[in-house]
Amino acid sequence: MTLLLNYCGVFATLYLVVLRFFAAASGSSSLTNAGEVVVDIWPDEKRVIGLLAFYAAPFFGPVLGPVCSGFLGESRGWRWVQGLVSILAGIICVVVIWSAPETYAPVLLRRRARRLSNLIGKVYIARINKGKLRKSLSSMIKVALTRPRAFLWFEPIVLLLSLYMALLYGILYMFFGVFPISEGIGGLSFLGMAGGIMLGIGYTFPDHSRYKKLSANGKPDPEARLPPAMVGAVTIPVGMFWFAWTNGPDQHWLVSIAAQAPFGFGFVLVYLSIQAYLVDSYPIYAASVLAGNILLRSGMGAAFPMFTRYMYDGLGIHRASTIPAFLALACVPLPFLFYKFGPRIRRKCRFARETDQ
């Protein structure tokens, strides 16, 4: 990914599109595998802290990125922005390679069996692999490409919650096109959302204490992860409607920027809560579930900026901002419905039923 980002700063037009595609494809592994790594490392009662530590980057990256890169791109050009990202990605890549160990249990067991075989001279096989044939590379690629789509097609929990998160992700990127001002000053407009994100992160700590109390009596149901999403689902449309009808020239610019705070606050709560709920509902399939989630989410994040400017030019700033607000309002019942009916739905879902057995 680092090399591809570096080349993105050299080429333009079609080459840039192709290189950006491969950079995104290679860089997506960190997003899809993070949930599985968190499951491997942290126990249930501490899992939200692990998810919070990881997802702080996706939260603050899109919001603080325009603040940092806006002035650099305005003064030195977009190639310098690509170069800076490439340098940072290279440094992180080296750190991860040398410091991050393998966490996947079947791989660790296979390695332990191989070491025992080499040390003692007898053939040892991990119990988890006993009677199983070693998968070929082509079969593993086939599973990696088809299983996430299977979760989206056949698991309503994954489909509906992924669509909800994809909508919120698209709205987040829609904000990047609604401030028709310079890149440098325009980046500062997202500080209101950054403040809301910080409040959302602060909210997770007392909620984590609530979950730990529930864990004292045994492992809670996955639905115990959803109360923060229920709070966030309400605050998001509040911020969206506030933004929709205060973003005109007749209002002070601070009012519309402050309206982003409820959205940022709710975005963090919904994002973290749903991610934890999906991971707890499908612990052995967490990577595939999150891959399907990211497939929809990233697609929506890429699609929204393509029509944002046309929508605002055609409908005006107030009505154009009201449309996503109503979409967010329509999704408010989702976490409440899964909180009440989640166990019944999971019993009827094939993959969720497998993980409960």
Tokens at residue 172, please?
């987040």
Rounded CA-CA distance 182/71 in Å is: 9
The mean pLDDT value of the chain amounts to 79
Range with lowest mean pLDDT among 71-85, 141-155, 273-287, 323-337: 71-85
Average pLDDT over residues 255-277: 90
CB 265, CB 203: distance < 8 Å: yes
Count of CA atoms in the C-beta half-sphere (13 A) of 123: 1
Map residue 219 onto helix, strand or coil: coil
Q: At residue 114, does pLDDT exceed 60?
A: yes
φ, ψ for residue 213, nearest 5 deg? -65, -40
What is the residue type of 35?
G
Q: What is the pLDDT of residue 302?
A: 82
Say if residue 265's pLDDT is above 90.
yes
Which own/partner pairs from 346-350 qualify as long-range (CB within 8 Å, at least 24 positions apart)?
Answer: 346/157, 346/222, 346/281, 349/154, 349/155, 349/156, 349/157, 350/154, 350/155
Task: Report the candidate in 271, 285, 296, 232 with the shortest Cα–Cα distance to residue 55.
Answer: 271
Position with higher pLDDT, 331 vs 67: 331
Average pLDDT rounded to a whole number, residues 200-205? 87
Residue type (1 letter), 75: S
Q: Is 221 left (phi over 0), alpha (psi -120 to 50) or beta?
A: beta
Percentage of the chain modeled with pLDDT above 90: 18
Q: Whole-structure pTM over 0.95, yes or no?
A: no
- The confidence score (pLDDT) of residue 318 equals 86
pLDDT digits (tens, 9 = 90+) for 305-357: 888 888 888 888 888 889 999 999 999 999 999 999 988 888 888 777 766 65
Per-residue confidence (pLDDT) for residue 188, from 0 to 100: 66
pLDDT interval class at 9 (50, 70, 90): very low
**Rounded mean pLDDT, 213-225:** 83
Predicted confidence (pLDDT) per residue in 227-252, tens digit? 999 999 999 999 999 988 887 777 88
Confidence at residue 133, expressed as pLDDT on a 0 to 100 scale: 55
Helices (H) and strands (E) in the chain, counts: 17, 0
Q: Check residue 351 and give its pLDDT.
A: 75
Residue-wise DSSP of 142-158: HHHHHHHHHHHHH-HHH
Whether residue 141 has pLDDT greater than 90 = no
> In CATH, what number does 2-103+135-356 get?
1.20.1250.20
Quick check: 304 and 170 in contact, CB under 8 A?
A: yes
